[in-house]
Structure 1
């Protein structure tokens, strides 16, 4: 058992179950994002009873608790990515090779203030994901 993953789960208020730990282990080993179906196919032989709904449920819980990042793809499929960066940041997602890169800059604060000023409310969170082709895929002439 990877103690880092167990610690991350406990810090998020979640139990460190064998299935959750296996999901985190597998996603951390991925160079990019993976779909629930891909993870289920790789994990189902490790567990006597592991259904696709269990994988979906665990991924959603891990995402909501901030342990995993959700990647929203233009094909409308949800993917998941293990991001160890706990600082506020956003992601650049390569639609060809599936690589995910951190974007440390955030220019959304001014927009949040403007929205709050206009509607009198308060923005509690935001999500910014940039989709495109990474340098390697762009150099290879790949298109999506």
Structure 2
């Protein structure tokens, strides 16, 4: 999969450094989102010099370029997720098992029109993240999925 990660970096105009590739590989192997500290602990033995600030910086650069996705947790901690879907979409985040699911429908075009009509503004981008429990975690918690 390293070729695919190198291609994603190249497409984003970023250099495919060994550390960036390792971070993408680690995120790709996750079943859900991961914190910078978790990634650093997983990768620090692979590199002679890999500090936590380097991991943070690379994650921010990767997120800013659209290669990975930031997950904003209610605990105010930032997490990151590798989403291969390059189409416009949003995410549902399970706060229990950390699973991240694509939501292909956007539904925000009416809100963008409201911004234009009511305040004369123009929406350039938006981010929508829904937090909750996935079907498996909701059922385990005694709720219905």
Q: TM bucket by the smaller chain?
A: over 0.9
Offset of 1:113 from its aligned partner? 1.0
RMSD: 1.2
The TM-score with structure 1 as length reference comes to 0.97
Q: Aligned residues, how many?
A: 143
Question: How many Å separate the matches in 1 of 2:79 and 2:129?
Answer: 13
Structure 1: gaps spanning 5 or more residues: none
Give the SS at the match of 2:50: coil
For residues 63-74 of structure 1, what are the structure 2 equivalents within 5 Å? Answer: 63-74=63-74
Aligned residue in 2 for 1:20: 20
For residues 85-100 of structure 1, what are the structure 2 equivalents within 5 Å? Answer: 85-100=85-100
Give the SS at the match of 1:5: helix
Question: How many Å separate the matches in 1 of 2:73 and 2:96?
Answer: 11
Q: Which runs of 4+ in 1 moved over 2 A?
A: none
The TM-score with structure 2 as length reference comes to 0.96
Structure 2: gaps spanning 5 or more residues: none
Question: How many Å separate the matches in 2 of 1:90 and 1:3?
Answer: 26
